[in-house]
Amino acid sequence: MDDIGTLYIVATPLGNLEDITLRAINTLKSVDSIACEDTRRASILLRHIGISGKKLISYHAFNEAKAIASILTLLENCLDVAVITDAGTPAISDPGFALVRRAYELPAKVIPVPGPSAVTAALSVCPLPVHNFFFAGFLPHKKGRKSKLEFLASIDSTIVFYESPHRIMKLLSEIDTYFSGSQVFIAREVTKLHEEYLCGTPSEMIERFTGEKAKGEFVVVVYPKAK
């Protein structure tokens, strides 16, 4: 392993750039290259923390195989690489898992640099019971969506979803159907300018967003056995 580079999985701010950790800054300064979803967004963060001239590698869901090959080559040449996403912790409903798996096969060191995560941020201010929760992430858009919802409704646990503004009404309607009697907590635009936290029944949340063009990413927490 000493003859191979280290892969750092670096968490970056969800919105507020002040949330980046000192260790994340030092790691991003020290590595040879940074793999990121969007080089433009990454450049904004890097300028904010005083980093310039760093080699950036575009790494997202649509070029994953090619990007992984490039990153592995760097690691094999004893160069260190940091992975960041547009926001939060890589590999949590974001690119990263396939790269981590391949890096272990080299074998290379894979080191986490912990920090912001939308799911933990939302759960920390959730007024519903979250001592036991199942993270479902994003549901399939079409195939397998119904069966996934049926499975999740059968679990004796709080369920956590990620959802986009384009599908939030659809998800809330499905929660109303599959999680009858549940309570819902919504965290929207976490740490950003228009962040919002709401709690109520699925029908109340549907009413809240009806007629509104929803914006921002959503964390939706469902407590299925509300009293």
Q: Write the DSSP string, 11-47.
A: -B-SS-GGG--HHHHHHHHHSSEEEES-HHHHHHHHH
DSSP-derived secondary structure letter, 157: S
Q: Give residue 177's pLDDT.
A: 96
The secondary element (H helix, E strand) that includes residue 175 is helix 168-178
The residue ranges of the chain whose pLDDT is under 70 are: 1-2, 226-227
Q: Give residue 2's pLDDT.
A: 63
Contacts 24+ apart (CB under 8 A), 201-209: 201/226, 202/172, 202/173, 202/175, 202/176, 203/176, 205/172, 206/169, 206/172, 206/173, 206/176, 209/168, 209/169, 209/172
Q: Give residue 149's pLDDT.
A: 97
Before 107, cis peptide (omega within 30)?
Answer: yes
Residue with structure tokens 């970056």?
A: 12
Per-chain mean pLDDT for the chain: 95
DSSP-derived 3-state class of residue 198: strand
Report how far residue 116's alpha carbon sits from residue 13's, in angstroms, rounded to the nearest whole number: 6
Q: Give residue 226's pLDDT.
A: 59
Q: Give residue 93's pLDDT.
A: 87
Q: Give residue 215's pLDDT.
A: 86
Rounded to two decimals, the pTM is 0.92
The secondary element (H helix, E strand) that includes residue 118 is helix 118-124
